[in-house]
Amino acid sequence: MDLANALNPDQHEAAVHGTGPQLVLAGAGSGKTRVITHRIAWLVRERGVDPRSITAVTFTNKAAAEMRERVEQLLQRHPLPCFVGTFHRLALVMLRRWGPKVDLTHDFAIVDTADQKALIKRALREEGLDESSFPVNSVLGAIGRAKHKLIGSAAYAKQVDDFFHTRVAKVYKRYQKLLRDAGGVDFDDMIHLSVKLLEDEQVRRRMRERAEWLLVDEFQDTNHAQLRFVQALAGPGGNLTAVGDEDQGIYRWRGAELDNILDFERSFPDPAIRKLEQNYRSTQNILDAAGAVVAHNTGRRGKTLWTDRGAGTKIVLYRGKDEVDEARWVVNAIQSTDVPLGDSAILVRTNAATRAFEEELLGRRIQYNVVGGLRFYERAEIKDLIAYLRVLRNPRDFLSFSRVLNQPPRGIGKTTRELLEARAERTSTTPWDILLAGDLDGISKRGATALLAFRDLLKGMIDEAEHLPLPALLRHILDTTGYAKLYDKDDPDSQTRRENIDELLNAAQSFAEQRGYGSGAAVGSLEALAEGDDSLTAFLDHVSLVSDTDDFDPGGSVSLMTLHSAKGLEFGAVAIGGLEDGILPHFNAKQHSADIEEERRLLYVGMTRAETRLFLSCARRRRVAGRWQDQLPSPFLSEIPPRFLQIEEAASFSTPPGVPVRQAQDVYSFFKRPVPAGASSSGRGGSSPSPPRGERRVVYDTPNAGAGALRKGRRVRHASLGTGKIIDIEGSGDTMRLICIFEGKGRRKLVAKYANLELL
DNA sequence: AAGTCGGGCATTTTT
DNA sequence: TGCCCGACTT
């Protein structure tokens, strides 16, 4: 391992940093993962550090997995017994090990946002508060903000005084009680309780041994609680290496505090501060343009990215007539590059905004995949089965209990359920305790019978759970509860759900195998602390923390996603759509300058995803919430110096790929927008002639567009359903579904691949 | 328990 | 404008 050769001088310096805190300001594409992995390798190999005393923390499982893999590669050692994982995984290890010290039962469950909302609703009801004056999301938001700052319910109650927040304080307190009664811990609690645990002498000693060399990635995304966690873990003068980029902080709305980077010295005195400014991803034009945007922000330390790869092509900016026209241009643009479609991405501000692009791609039969959106473990059928597993482990988990109580339907209706739950509430127990006691007076005979049958069903399954391995247990649940029957029909919906269930079985199978082969936690590793757990607990932890069946592989298809989802990724060609005032910056962000700055960073993140080609686009008008709205270009566009841009306009959109297009003089005259005060560029606009407004156009017909396209509004014929019309399209590729209305038969959902539709 | 209707709503989402 | 959730219906 030749560090000096593998790293540039700045990277090298950061990697071989000695003791004490270090802040590495790593610009986009500057090789931060490289620094972290090489630092770990250097510590182990050159400094003879015991890997068990190294802890590396990330935000995502993906980042952690990648990091671990690369370190193990570097050191040729697998598994390496250092901790590499997410904040929450680290917290979980501690809580499974020492949970009782903070009054947690050993089998606590991690509750997700949906569960949180259910608990808030219950808490609201118990407090006699109305959901219309206390919307669940607002209440949850307020509680979340408190938790991010490590403010418990008691402290919260003391510091609020207005009407709304004093009620929220009550709900907060009750929420915590319900959460604990159900045996649950939410994501924020995990961090909170870990910080608390670290106040314990013994825990602190043990953990600091493990985190003697601490590395934290994406430091700009840490919230206050996580900062305190890191501080407690590192201890005074700890050997912390924090890596981050204030320009890529896009999670303020989730509690992330940029000040953790900006005021790093306050939390970790006398740090070494290093910048990584050489970029290995993008062309200089892209870097300069993106840099110019974010240079308008005040809350930053500032850095200037450079590359030795040359200026590259100009960024192409297009303003379309409407979102359909914009999408058409963007797809043309992406097709016109020599970058493969599988290495291209279209980025947008909101999930809903992918629609116009999807339709365009669909119409041209271009493969695409939408990244993000509905996640695997959030699908109803998966949540149901997970809920069964949770109930089997802890039948007092009333959230999961009520989820499966009548799923599949077994004659326990609303009235019965409400009586049961009210009784549990009144006696401060759980529905399960009521069932065990058999105290069912006042419940209808039919309901009571169904409840007792359910009790016996659960009892039987709990016994089975003792000795059945995980995949078999899941199959057992599917059979004995009759859940499998729920989706044994032949319609596309059932098919999808069956596929998902199969995927869960696969996940369980491979999870069990991996654990069986012991390739999970390395001997002596921090993770091994929690290893005493049964495999059911481990699996449930796994699904709670993973949230998705990981890694997306674009294959040959264009990736479509939000700017947020794009963070951390890179593509040969990138197009960012909908760059309009009110979309980016989003109109909800316009109240506070701090929010505006975050929107700017969002654009920065998007732009710096591109390696060689970058396209920016907006539309003159678009449908917003159903109404046509005239749109102005994003003010951020005028922050990009014109020399980096090549501007196109609606009249010339039909230019075939590769043919150079007419250029307007500069971005300001193009948009008839005065140069914003403080903009560093020299351009001056406002009075230049407006661009030609010709709407004449020749539609550029791609070879495979045309009549064969499946798109909304098309009339089709189905072998048995007759003629109808496509009214909507979901998904893509093999799982693409068409929602059609058939004459006389009504609405049907068909899997495009199997439907064999004839186009009319 | 499943289907229908209508009001409210409509950023971003690593764990 | 469309979708999602909750209330209401049968």
- A624's CB contacts (< 8 A; 6+ apart) are A582
**For range A345-366, the mean pLDDT:** 92
Tokens standing for A389? 């597993």
Average pLDDT over residues A301-311: 94
Per-residue pLDDT at A497: 87
* Closest-approach nucleotide to residue A550, Cα vs C1': B14
> Which of chain C's bases lie under 7 Å from a protein CB?
1-3
The pLDDT score that the predictor gives to residue A668 is 36
Nucleotide lying nearest to A131, CA to C1' measure: C6
pLDDT value of residue A698: 21
- What would the pLDDT profile of A642-659 be if each residue is shown by its tens digit? 999 999 876 543 433 333
The integer distance in angstroms from the CA atom of A393 to the C1' atom of B10 is: 39
Task: Please identify residues in chain A, positions 396-425, with a C-beta within 7 angstroms of any atom of strand B.
Answer: 406, 409-414
Q: Is the distance between the Cβ of A138 and the closest atom of strand B smaller than 7 Å?
A: no
SS3 A99: helix
pLDDT greater than 80 at residue A518: no
Residues 6 or more apart in contact with residue A171 via CB below 8 angstroms: A120, A123, A124, A127, A129, A134, A139, A143
- Output the average pLDDT for chain A: 84
Residues of A marked active site are found at: 32-33, 217-218, 248, 609
How buried is A760 (Cβ within 10 angstroms: 0-12 exposed, 13-18 middle, 19+ buried)?
A: exposed
Minimal CA–CA distance to A637: which of A577, A564, A565, A558?
A577
- Give residue A495's pLDDT band: very low, low, confident or very high (50, 70, 90): confident
Query: In three state form, how does the secondary structure of A19-34 look?
Result: CCCEEEEECCCCCHHH
> Where is pLDDT greater, at A106 or A382?
A382
* Beta pairing partners, A646: A316
pLDDT of A685 strictly over 50: no
Q: List residues, Cβ < 7 Å, touching strand C.
A: A 623, 625-627, 728
Q: How confident is the model at residue A201 (pLDDT cuts 50, 70, 90)?
A: very high
Which position has the higher pLDDT, A551 or A54?
Answer: A54
Interatomic CA–C1' length for residue A363 and nucleotide B5, angstroms = 34
Query: Which residue in the block uniquely carries the two structure tokens 């070494």?
Result: A272
pTM, rounded to two decimals: 0.84
What are the beta bridge partners of residue A729?
A738
A253 touches strand B (CB under 7 A): yes
Q: Which nucleotide is nearest to A412 (CA to C1')?
A: B1
Residues 6+ apart with CB under 8 A from A229: A87, A91, A191, A194, A195, A198
pLDDT higher than threshold 80 for residue A676: no
Whether the pLDDT of residue A70 is over 90: the answer is yes
Contact A146, A156 (CB under 8 A): yes
Q: Chain B bases under 7 Å from protein CB?
A: 1-2, 9-15
> What residue is closest to C1 (Cα–C1')?
A626
For residue A391, say whether its CB is under 7 Å from any atom of strand B. no
Calculate the angstrom distance between C1' of B1 and CA of A120. Answer: 26
Closest by Cα among A610, A634, A605, A614 to A251: A605
Contact yes or no for A27/A305 (Cβ under 8 A): yes
Which protein residue lies nearest to nucleotide B12, measured between its Cα and the C1' atom? Answer: A564
Residue A703: DSSP 8-state: T
Residue A727's nearest nucleotide, by CA–C1', is C2
